[in-house]
Structure 1
Amino acid sequence: MSEQIMQITIPEGAMNQRLDAILAQQLPDYSRNRIQAWIKEGLVELDGKVCKKPRYALFGGEQVKLTVLIEESTRIEAQEINLDIVYEDDAIMIINKPVGLVVHPGAGNPDGTLMNGLLYYNPDLREVPRAGIVHRLDKDTSGLMVVAKTIGAQTHLVEQLQRHAVERIYDAVLVGNLAKGGTVDKPIGRSPQDRKKMAVREMGGKPAISHYRVLEHFRAHTRVRVKLETGRTHQIRVHMAHLGYPLVGDPVYGSKFRIPKRMHEQFVEYLRGFHRQALHAGALSLTHPVSGKVMKWRSQMSEDMLELVDILREDIEVFEEEQLGYDEFDYDYGVEVEWVTDEDIPE
């Protein structure tokens, strides 16, 4: 955190207007929620006196001093990490995050994260809170993320996320045969049994809505596409598990391990070895914070998920062939076939 001092003269025409509203106009790079928090924390002085009331009615002409703490990444080491940058301009970057990459440093992951890589790629991101990261993906979830390159762009993107105006669509493979699509509207909060997990909490949970559509059925699994209306921690994983169809490979919420009958051993081994949730952020749509244009990006599922889907498709083909119960060469009304060798053919 770094201390910054900002001094502003309230416009004369601001009489009877709220302090937080005028400061939000004067400081467009910061959200009104952030400004309200600063006021309540006693970081704002009006004519030399601390004011903790966001609704304070102004007279006009007051001198405002803000002494605020801005989160920055000065202690985070810049590290050279290969970044798959799908799009970049002066305001934003779109990153295609691979499986296994943690988004930002934390307990057990002090470095080697996306944030470390962003600071190496663009040192100016030290001036932006959290190096411009406005939302996250779990370590073992792949796919698209947006990164802000300026404080103004970050504020704009955060407000879009709060208004549910950023469209995020995920591809997932579930355990079990989910019959049809639908919507899960169940609040999510910390699990009372395990604080490291999230759970559907009818009391005390935060609103969470996921819309899902079935794309493909396999013998004992289902490929779906999920659109988030909200963005709670582990939302898709929790909601799908709540329906009784956890994600393939989910080490936290995937209690089921279902193998269809007579599945070939090499297919079984691949499923047993799929040790991460089969989830990919495949589509992202947002309003550009500068141009105001709606922009959309898509990315193909990661290689391991593509292979997973191929194996489940092949399993159907192999099973159906074996179900026929006959050899393609001796199907003729049960007639016994006499095999002929080259030696039996006269010259």
Structure 2
Amino acid sequence: MPTDHQSIVLSAAVPESLLGKRLDQALAEMFPDYSRSRLKEWILAGNVQINGSVCDKPREKIFGEEQIDIQAQLEVQESHVAQDIELNIVYEDEHILVINKPADLVVHPGAGNASGTVLNALLNHAPQVASVPRAGIVHRLDKDTTGLMVVAKTVPAQTHLVERLQAREISREYEAVACGTLVAGGLIDAPIGRHPTKRTSMAIRESGKPAATHYRVKQKFRAHTHLRLKLESGRTHQIRVHMSHLKYPLVGDALYGGRPRLPKACSQEMIDMLRGFKRQALHAIQLELAHPITNEWMSWQAPLPDDMVALLQVLKADTELHGMADD
């Protein structure tokens, strides 16, 4: 796999406040633009000098006022090609990029999707992201989930965004249409892991990673519910798995919802809409975060896509015709 490299040169004197700290701990505080794991790799690789001498021991004690010099290389992967794929850019500066992802667009190349992804589009739009792990992608949306995603254009921006995501300091809100009528909102707190037999699916599992989803009812229809949801964690397929676990799967979710649920005496228009809705009705509608470099609090919203607007209109008309009860 052909690669290129970006040189990193860092120099600083150790402040007295870090007296007695381990080298890896001190570097993490001195150079917060880089992750602890990356700094430790550089120490072990002999890329770190203390007062001119190489130190490859992460646990080396620091006494304060030492001169630290780091000379390292960031590997730039050339395995993914840049492709001229249009991106709906909501916001961009020299550090980050926020996009409104359409349906039917995979975020990262993988099995069956070697190209034609958000990553390929990013390499074309901002070639510098080739030197950022995962081309700056901080969090993903499923192929057929629409809405807002933030991308880091530099390694420091990505380091800070990943840390804030892990600390649950990035707010991500979604809207969805679920099958069935929920009476009230609530919290789903159930761990998610890989399905034991279906390798492309996730499932509620005791051995899974913690996952929490808040949801509230925006509008109730005769046999469906328009929801607003907020993630505390960001597990693969989290909202889809959690709503299916509640027995209120998302409209159009063939993986976790099965066949379309048709209420009694519904119109042909509604039958066509529900059968023809070929993706999960899920949209990342709002994203809020502190800018990774300036720390300014920022907020973006992406209106519901046309297919979900049309779905809600049909559900509203059905409810007005038949009333709330599906008898």
TM-score by length of 2: 0.88
Counterpart position of 1:136? 140
Relative distance call for 1:95 and 1:8 in structure 2 (3 A) is closer
- 5 Å matches for 1:198-277? 198-202=202-206, 204-255=207-258, 257-277=260-280
1:283 aligned residue: 286
The correspondence of residues 1-347 of structure 1 with structure 2, limited to 5 A, is 11=13, 13=16, 15-36=19-40, 42-44=44-46, 47-48=53-54, 50-51=56-57, 54-59=58-63, 61=66, 70=74, 72-202=76-206, 204-255=207-258, 257-320=260-323
Please give the secondary structure, in 1, of the residue aligned with 2:199. coil
Deviations, residues 89-142 of structure 1 (Å, cap 9, x unaligned): 121111000001111211111111111111111222222222221111010000
Query: SS in structure 1 opposite 2:283?
Result: strand
CA contact (8 A) 1:44 1:66 kept: no
Cα offset, 1:257, TM superposition: 2.7
Q: Secondary structure at the match of 1:72?
A: strand
Structure 1 residue 74: Cα displacement: 2.2
Cα 1:59–1:44 change in 2 (3 A) is: farther
C-alpha separation in 1, matches of 2:140 and 2:38: 20
Structure having the higher Rg: 1
Tell which deviates more after alignment, 162-171 or 243-252.
243-252
When residues 258 and 32 of structure 1 are mapped into structure 2, their CA distance, relative to the original with a 3 A threshold, is same
**Distance change in 2, residues 1:15/1:2 (3 Å):** farther
Is the contact between residue 6 and residue 131 of structure 2 (CA under 8 Å) also seen in structure 1?
Answer: no
Kindly state the Cα deviation for residue 197 of structure 1 after the two structures are TM-superposed: 1.0
For structure 1, the residue ranges without an aligned partner over 5 or more in a row are 324-347
Contact residue 45 and residue 56 of structure 2 kept, 8 A: yes
TM-score of the aligned structures, taking structure 1 as reference length: 0.83
Structure 2 stretches lacking a partner, 5+ long: none
| Root-mean-square deviation over aligned CA pairs | 2.3
Partner SS for 2:250: coil
Q: Is the 8 A contact 1:174 1:246 kept in 2?
A: yes
Report SS of the residue matched to 2:135: helix
* 1:110 partner amino acid: A
Residue 267 of structure 2 contacts residue 318 of structure 2 at CA under 8 Å; is this kept in 1?
yes
Q: Tell me by how many angstroms 1:58 deviates.
A: 3.0
Aligned equivalents of 1:156, 1:89: Cα separation in 2: 16
